[in-house]
Amino acid sequence: MLYSLAEENYLKAIFKLSEKKPDKVFTNDIASLLDMKAASVTDMLQKLSEKKLIRYVKYRGVSLTPSGKKVALSIIRKHRLWELFLTSKLGFSWDEVHDVAEQLEHIRSEKLVKHLDQFLGKPKFDPHGDPIPDENGNFQLQKVFPLSDAKNTQTITIAGVIDHQPLFLRYLDQCGLSLGKKIKVQGKTGYDKSMNISILHSGQKIFISHDVAKNILVIP
């Protein structure tokens, strides 16, 4: 079963949307994520439905079938492996990898994926802290929570981000915040929920807004 680039992108989009709202995914959500018109999405939904990759009821949204989910996960696996390759082997920074990985994820070669996985040491997480599905589509979920929910004086480790925009990631770089950094909450403002935190290794103290804290994922 080989699927077109467009089909793969739709399946990936549906998967990502159903991660947030686990119920049904709607035409407009897909259209805005893929930056296309709703009418085009309807076209494709009908096609994917015929191929049994999604369950589709007119006007009622869609969900992935097991085979649709399998395709989506294999694309996501490839995307995240390539992102890690780009950062760990080629020296890309985490804000530069997305667009290239978006292309590389569609390269068709089981052997390539297997060997790339081995070359990278069968990694479990990508440069943004997102889990990399294994060849069967299984992945580890870390028990992360947003930094904004951390208690005062709590010590935690940065484990991921919610927002993946280059602008946000570069801002974190500037602040000295990156994956794996241990930080301690030094104070939270009641009014605007902004926080003072310190980076344990460097001792650096920084101030971050609630908006930023909400987009940083941490583990205890």
70 touches DNA by CB under 7 A: no
CA–CA dist 161, 216 (Å, integer): 5
Helix axis angle for 38-50 and 27-34, nearest 10°, is 110
Q: Which of 47, 51, 184, 210 binds DNA (CB under 7 A)?
A: 47
DSSP H stretches of helix in 21-52: 27-34, 38-50
Contact 161, 95 (CB under 8 A): no
Which amino acid is present at 88?
S
> Whose structure tokens read 């290239």?
100
Compose the 63-102 pattern: x for residues touching a second copy by CB under 8 A, - for all others: -----------------------x--xxxx---x--xx--
33 touches DNA by CB under 7 A: no
103 touches a second copy by CB under 8 A: yes
Helix axis angle for 5-20 and 27-34, nearest 10°, is 120
For residues 116-145, which are near a second copy according to CB under 8 A? 116, 119
Q: Please count the other Cβ atoms lying within 10 Å of the Cβ belonging to residue 109.
A: 10
15 touches a second copy by CB under 8 A: no
CB of 74 to DNA, least distance (A): 17
Contact 38, 26 (CB under 8 A): no
Name the segment binding DNA (CB under 7 A); options: 37-45, 103-111, 139-147, 152-160: 37-45
Which option in a second copy, DNA, none does residue 43 bind, with CB closer than 5 to 8 A by kind? DNA
The residues binding a second copy (CB under 8 A) are 86, 89-92, 96, 99-100, 103-104, 107-109, 111-112, 115-116, 119
